[in-house]
Amino acid sequence: MQISHKNFRNIGLIGRPDKSSVVETLSLIHNHLLRIGLHPVFDSETAALVPDSRNTQTVSRSLLGEVVDLVIVVGGDGSLLHAARALVKHNTPVIGINRGRLGFLTDIKPTEVIFKLDQVLKGEFQLDRRFLLEMEIRSKGENIYDAIALNDVVLHSGRSVHMIDFELNIDGQYVYRQHSDGLIVSTPTGSTAYALSGGGPIVHPSMDAISLVPMHPHTLSSRPIVVGGHSEIKIMIRENRVLPMVSADGQHSVSLSVGDSLHIRKHPFKLNLLHPPGYDFYMACRTKLGWNQDFDSLQQQD
């Protein structure tokens, strides 16, 4: 897919204005876009709390991707995850400005926002296409719930301390029956999120792969599995003392009953994530995960 900066005229603005720093950055970007002759558009959720939005066009988040050529998300990775699920079907490119903690997805620093944004608007950017997962719950042969996730789909036991019993099949082949706290099914994007804390591998974003990471399995031999991105994953719920639950990207959890099946596969649309020049995934890992922390501190002491 070709993305040209020449088409960047209507620019969507999304954020979670629960912090003054997010509002400040949104206002800064909004005013800059007006100065350079572009047309900012707020999503209605963001506009409600940003003073500068009074005389600016606003649309619902679900429709924003239809009316803009580019979306700027201000906040943490969670804000971008939420925006991505609404925008992905429109193929709308997205830029992330970090006002959160880690910032693997929202990788532009607030202190560099105008400089980096201008680079992207001039066509100086790297296109990073990230795939999502789609899940559906089937009960007695009928689809009763579906959702999409950029990071992960997580089967878990809710607030209970009891393990859950489930059966895993991949591409129609039986893999195992497991007792554990659950299972994290992760995209490469999500490999540096919850799956990482569960002991899963870091998977480069360019890989066409899905990681399955058991959560506190009852057997020491249970290890993460990495499968092809086109794999069809099916999880059957067995008899349990508690109702297992499933969530996509940490959204609202939905309970599963005995005999229900959870189906997970690649979503047909990809997120078009734009990075300014100089973006480096390994540098992001070093910075966000502190890989060089001890070594760098020793060098400073020398």
Q: Is 194 marked as a binding-site residue?
A: yes
Residue 203 — φ and ψ, nearest 5°?
-115, 125
Q: How far is CA 255 from the centre of its chain?
A: 22
Rounded distance between C-alpha atoms, residue 185 and residue 50, angstroms:
36
How many CB atoms are located within 10 Å of the residue 4 CB? 8
Q: For residue 39, what are the β-bridge partners?
A: 10
Q: Is 193 marked as a binding-site residue?
A: yes
**52 in active site:** no
**For residue 23, which amino acid is it?**
V
- Catalytic residue chosen out of the listed positions 43, 69, 77, 249: 77
Q: Is 178 marked as a binding-site residue?
A: no
Burial of 105 (0-12, 13-18, 19+ CB in 10 A): buried
DSSP-H helix ranges across the chain: 20-35, 44-47, 61-67, 77-87, 113-121, 194-197, 281-289, 293-301
Q: Is 192 marked as a binding-site residue?
A: yes
Q: Is 77 marked as a binding-site residue?
A: yes
Helix (H, G, I), strand (E, B) or coil at 266: strand
> What token pair was written down for 24?
């400040």
Q: Is 92 marked as a binding-site residue?
A: no
Q: Is 151 marked as a binding-site residue?
A: yes
Decide: 207 and 230 in contact? Cβ < 8 Å.
no
Q: Is 56 marked as a binding-site residue?
A: no
Q: Is 78 marked as a binding-site residue?
A: yes
Q: Is 32 marked as a binding-site residue?
A: no
Q: Is 187 marked as a binding-site residue?
A: no
Decide: 14 and 72 in contact? Cβ < 8 Å.
yes
Task: Report the catalytic residues.
Answer: 77
Binding residues for NAD(+): 77-78, 82, 151-152, 162, 179, 181, 192-197, 251
